[in-house]
Amino acid sequence: MEFETIPTIPTADELLERALKRAAAAKKEKRNKVRANEEFVRSVSKSLYDKLDDTVHRFPTFENLPVFYRDMTNILFSIDKLRKSLGALTWAAGRIRDVGNEYAWKIRSNPDDASNLRKAATGRMASIMHQVEDDLMLLNNARDVLRKLPDIRDEFTVVVAGYPNVGKSSFIRLVSSATPQVAGYAFTTKQVVVGHRDVGRERMQIVDTPGILDRPAEERNYIEHQALSAITNVADVILFIIDASEACGYPVDRQLTLLEEIRRVVGDVPVEVVVSKSDLEEMEGYMNMSTTTEEGVDEVVALLLRYMEASPRSPPEYSQEENL
């Protein structure tokens, strides 16, 4: 993933401290006092400029990110805010370079005042750095979160969706390599999780999503929006899970309304429905399964395999044989 190559972004004070240390070393090397002060200013300016400029360039161009990652970046941080912060760093880098050049020249032209000018230059550069303190922090925070986004590959993908607490993660744990947390309360899964299942020489990518409530888009939280992004951007088939027992805490009719909404937003992507917790309650006219007794689970997997077999993403030599 593109965010993995961004190194930690230090705070403004850490950057200043490093730049000053480096500059002090550079200053020592110059015998001539005026030259030493000039070198100090140039060195601070260059260290800060380089680090700010490098940070800006390490971030990917948001427009070029795959849609899912662009969406996630937007949901979690707002691309606009990140762009503004990157813009602030570019501004700061430019100002620091200018101050460095300006004061290096002043020191040369006013050798008697060299030491005061050096201090003034350092003060101005520190003040510019402090103006972008919050931007550096936001970008570092974004870097920490975004680099941990699930690595969703361009391969056949099942996205498991549904209301909170219906048993999505329990199913994924049972049928894939992923080990998402399972708990008896809503929004246990807070971000998209990727698991895999080997199928012959191929593998099926299975994505667990946080629960979504049937409510207006503007009332949905960022956890629900992540789920919707996975559903609309990466799914070859959606497995929609309904808890007919309502042990999840939500009525079936609300779950069915959500199902209809999802069918509408995904357009051509097939949506398969399965009723979970069949040990508690079954529902006629649907596939039923229980991850507790494992009844019905193999049939659901077989259905997903048929989609995989028929998918244009699967190579023709793909074998139905499962390699578990």
- As given in the structure block, the two tokens for residue 201 are 């020489």
In sequence order, the 6+-apart residues with CB closer than 8 A to the CB of 80 are none
Q: Which of 167, 192, 229, 237 binds ligand GTP (CB under 6 A)?
A: 167
Residue 164 interacts with which of ligand GTP, Mg ion, none, CB < 5 to 8 Å by class: ligand GTP
Stretch of 17-25, 50-58, 105-113, 158-166 contacting ligand GTP, by CB under 6 A: 158-166
- As given in the structure block, the two tokens for residue 90 are 């570019």
Residue that is written with structure tokens 């199902």 in the block: 259
φ, ψ at 182 (rounded to 5°): -120, 130
CA 50, CA 274: separation in Å to the nearest integer? 55
Q: How far is the CB of 181 from ligand GTP (least distance, A)?
A: 7
Q: How far is the CB of 230 from Mg ion (least distance, A)?
A: 13
Return the sign of the alpha-carbon dihedral for residues 94, 99, 101, 102: positive
Q: Which of 47, 73, 122, 169 binds Mg ion (CB under 5 A)?
A: 169
Q: Is 290 a residue that touches ligand GTP (CB under 6 A)? A: yes
Nearer to ligand GTP, 45 or 291 (CB): 291
Stretch of 76-84, 181-189, 252-260, 308-316 contacting ligand GTP, by CB under 6 A: 181-189
Stretch of 12-20, 40-48, 74-82, 179-187 contacting ligand GTP, by CB under 6 A: 179-187
For 145, other C-beta atoms within 10 Å of its C-beta total 15
CA 174, CA 221: separation in Å to the nearest integer? 28
Residue 166 interacts with which of Mg ion, ligand GTP, none, CB < 5 to 8 Å by class: ligand GTP
- As given in the structure block, the two tokens for residue 293 are 């007794």
Residue that is written with structure tokens 């929006």 in the block: 225
> Site for ligand GTP (CB under 6 A): how many residues?
23
CA 306, CA 309: separation in Å to the nearest integer? 5
* Residues within window 229-288 making contact with ligand GTP, judged by CB under 6 A: 276-277, 279-280
> Site for Mg ion (CB under 5 A): how many residues?
4
Q: What is the 3-state composition of the chain as percent helix, strand, coil, each rounded to the nearest 5? A: 55, 10, 35
Q: How far is the CB of 227 from ligand GTP (least distance, A)?
A: 8
Instruction: Please give the residue ranges that form the binding site for Mg ion (CB under 5 A).
Output: 168-169, 188-189
Instruction: Please give the residue ranges that form the binding site for ligand GTP (CB under 6 A).
Output: 164-170, 182-184, 186-189, 210-211, 276-277, 279-280, 290-292
